[in-house]
Chains A and B, each alone.
Chain A
């Protein structure tokens, strides 16, 4: 067993874990943050996307023990002070979800797209940048609309709505 400490959704956490524990397992099983989902085990579907130091990461692909000291944001940490993040609002407003299983990863990936590509996103950019996330319900039509709208709303929101600027992962 090994000990790992990181900051998850603004809170310092420490866990004693089997060294083979994946970040997604640490989040779901140790911290009971079950909003992050596992859909494929092979880094293809993106249901497990979280942000590590401000950058989208597939948490089924990272060993928890490799993230000592990291700042992790999950879907549970996206809303601030009880206010939904603009991207969360946009997914609801534009019916960008059906069964909800891919949704946390989609929203986290969407925020990352805005962080990387800015607030004025065209359909082609969104579709290409969503390459790492699979949805089986929506046909992506409304997800694309939601991300475009969410990106615009993020520009208009207060600083509290913004993710921290992108940093290189340690």
Chain B
């Protein structure tokens, strides 16, 4: 390993601009003549719009234009789409209501988009919004996940019982038999709490229209600018793709919420032509709470069957998933194909059956948030397994190890073919790191201090490297999930790598350069990564689902292969040798068995001057592209153990130790990978202890600012002990599995298993706030007194 090669903790190339205030985020971009957009949003969760009177507002100072859904419809601007078709149990397609970018006739959640006001300044646009008169007929609101399907109020005429689909997966008959024959059945009712992703950079958009060229440019906070262009062009109909450029510059975090194509971005780019001015919109934090896609929000009944030997023989779940008021871009896939196929966890479970009902409610749309379906599945599996071990009087670590998948490949009953892994190795290492043997002593010491100490396990698996295009196509995806790369070698041997992946914190400018520098034997400074601009990068599918290493870098790997192959042809002419005799290593092309060689930069120059070969023999230039379509999902897995202490007098929970041992396959940059693990754990701990989006019964979001929605802060978290095990992924050339979501998937059950271990009962829901823990601890105290 070299100091900058694969496996080295290279300090990030992108950091200089961030630490000096020179980052360039969408809100930092200002176009000449720019006007400002402000969205008038629904104050009601559910209402019919009888009329919108904009006359007074139009007369306000600075107002340039006010548009409503009628204006979009008149321009034939299409609605927002959901790109994943799910079929019901009976084979019929899901029932999706229309999703106009600006409301047409009805508003369906607080924050829904009623009109856009475009003015010279943001303050003027806001002021004018207050003069728009909207005649609402307020309708009853459907708010709660579990009861949405049973109410008379209908949110979309297309879905008469507010149900988007009734879906299922698994081997139902075998599962029912497993439960009939079980020696023991563990049952849990689980609520996976609703979360708001909250990247620190709020969403933003600047739409621009070039009248001379007839072309649009949209600067926006996107994790996948090419998908945004595709949807805005092919489905919404803003402009053909060759007349629409989407630029996602520095993006300040995404966590899934910036995958989706939203109303505001759509309206800004459309309105730029309408008003003949660039149009800028920047979300404030409360708008982000109201209108960014939320995450999670499942209500589940789950059961686990075990036999007399303590082997898990069956698992069944019945989940109701809240998709909010409209189907966001990938929402339908999250509680189905990103959820149920993970219900086997790390375990050899012969029979699994999952039923999922997805419902509409008068709340913000719900879509992928870090982990997307996999945290929900992991929470179900790891809570069930922990509780089963307790009910059976088994050590939770040993019970898990007894039931682990140990032979690979392993076909689960729920689609997935696990390719490789060593779950017991991760467990053993995690037990060492946490000092499991010393836990009893530490617990007794806590008890002496009046504290309740608990330990909780989470042995997660996830499916990443999303995903083989044919496979996802067969499951209903509207797109293929390959990735593209282009490696452009300049005449002096420096390299630009164009990638369809998008970095919004993941450090691609460093890790991707490490790969290319390592393989071409050139200094890392000579490699630049280009991403986030549809005019530069031809096509790409973007960054989510921990896919940029396993899929994005595999595409780069393939393109580098082609560059080396072409370089060998050039070198053969220059070195006057047979192409078959040319080797490439350490940045040099050489002739086998001789000392004749050509360094990479000289080869590049020869490729461009083209003096040593004719155009008939070989094309000049050194530039190659590749598309990589994965052949399987990847299966990162690991064990996280949380040890915590509860103060029963205050309900305050303090995490004392955290051991994380993850198998991400081959790691390119361990510093960056560990950083991803830390951040994921923090979001998972946030879900378990602090965060919860709450709507009241009228559908008002009562947690719509950082004062009401508790984000994890530095003093809520401990430092983390992070270890790794490695089984290389066999399905991609680099052996990478992916690391971006692991912490958020692993952490919530580890925390709740630790809290319930400390409390001695299972009666606590997320977020386990001090108030909730205090109440639960009183119950523990009463139980102890009764005993």
Residues of A within 8 A of B (CB): 18, 20, 28, 33-42, 44-45, 47, 74-76, 78-79, 84, 88, 91-93, 95, 97-104, 107, 123, 126-128, 130-131, 133-144
Contact = CB atoms under 8 A, between A and B. Distances in A.
B253 interface: yes
Interface in B649-694: 671-672, 674-675, 678-683
Contact of A35 (B21, B255, B706): B21
A42 to B, nearest CB: 5
Given A139-B720, A140-B682, A102 B12 contact: no
A130 B683 CA distance: 17
B8 to A, nearest CB: 13
A139 B255 contact: no
B46 to A, nearest CB: 27
A37 B201 contact: yes
Interface stretch (B68-76, B413-421, B503-511, B763-771): B503-511
B309 interface: no
A92 B11 CA distance: 7
A28 B25 CA distance: 12
B678 A99 contact: no
Which interface residue of B123, B200, B506 has the most chain A CB atoms within 10 A? Answer: B200
Given A35-B22, A88-B20, A127-B715, A99 B682 contact: no
B715 A42 contact: no
B137 interface: no
Interface string B485-505: 000000000000000000011
B286 interface: yes
Interface in B124-163: none
Contact of A97 (B18, B24, B202, B683): B18
Given A101-B25, A102-B200, A141-B719, 13 more contacts: A34-B24, A40-B705, A84-B19, A95-B675, A99-B199, A100-B18, A101-B23, A101-B201, A127-B715, A127-B717, A134-B713, A136-B253, A141-B720
A126 B201 contact: no
A76 B720 CA distance: 32
A35 B715 contact: no
A135 B18 CA distance: 14
B711 interface: yes
B714 interface: yes
Contacts of B678: 138-142
B459 interface: no
Given A39-B202, A136-B198, A136-B683, A99 B706 contact: no
B707 interface: yes
Contacts of A134: 200, 706, 711, 713
Contacts of B674: 95
A144 B718 CA distance: 10
Contacts of A45: 200, 285, 706, 711
15 contacts: A35-B23, A44-B705, A99-B252, A104-B21, A133-B713, A133-B714, A134-B200, A136-B200, A136-B683, A136-B711, A137-B675, A139-B712, A140-B678, A140-B714, A140-B717
Contact of A142 (B18, B20, B675): B675
A91 B675 CA distance: 13
A97 B253 CA distance: 11
A128 B15 contact: no
Contact of B201 (A44, A99, A104, A127): A99
B112 interface: no
**For chain B, which range describes its interface: under 10, 10 to 19, 20 to 34, or 35 or more residues?**
35 or more
A134 B674 CA distance: 19
Interface in B351-371: none
A131 B253 contact: no
Contact of B707 (A44, A135, A137): A44
Contacts of A20: 123
B16 interface: yes
A39 B201 contact: yes
Contacts of B505: 98-100, 137
A-B pairs with the 10 shortest C-beta distances?
A35-B21, A101-B252, A100-B18, A139-B682, A99-B505, A139-B678, A75-B21, A44-B706, A98-B505, A34-B28
Contact of A41 (B25, B252, B284, B683): B284
Given A75-B21, A97-B19, A99-B505, A18 B713 contact: no
B20 A99 contact: no
Interface in B1-35: 11-12, 14-25, 27-28
Contact of B25 (A33, A37, A97, A143): A37
Contacts of A107: 19
Given A42-B285, A97-B15, A104-B21, A123 B705 contact: no
A136 B679 contact: yes
A42 B706 contact: yes
Which interface residue of A42, A78, A135, A136 has the most chain B CB atoms within 10 A? Answer: A136
B285 A127 contact: no
B76 to A, nearest CB: 36
B580 to A, nearest CB: 44
Nearest to B28: A34
Contact of B21 (A76, A95, A139): A76
A143 B23 contact: no
B86 to A, nearest CB: 30
Contact of B14 (A75, A100, A104): A100
Interface in B693-728: 705-707, 711-715, 717, 719-720
A42 B705 contact: yes
Which interface residue of B19, B25, B201, B706 has the most chain A CB atoms within 10 A? Answer: B19
Given A88-B20, A99-B251, A41 B286 contact: yes
Interface in B392-427: none
Contacts of A98: 253, 505-507, 675, 679
Contacts of A142: 675, 678
Given A40-B705, A42-B705, A144-B719, A100 B23 contact: yes
Contact of A95 (B12, B199, B743): B12
A31 B216 CA distance: 28
Which interface residue of A104, A123, A137 has the most chain B CB atoms within 10 A? Answer: A137
B20 A123 contact: no
Nearest to A105: B200
B208 interface: no
Nearest to A97: B18
Nearest to B202: A39
Contacts of B28: 28, 34
A150 B714 CA distance: 17
Contacts of B20: 35, 75-76, 78-79, 84, 88
A106 B212 CA distance: 44
A140 B200 CA distance: 14
B714 A127 contact: yes
A20 B122 CA distance: 12
B120 to A, nearest CB: 12
A127 B27 CA distance: 29
B12 A92 contact: yes
A38 B495 CA distance: 35
Contacts of B682: 138-140
B719 to A, nearest CB: 5
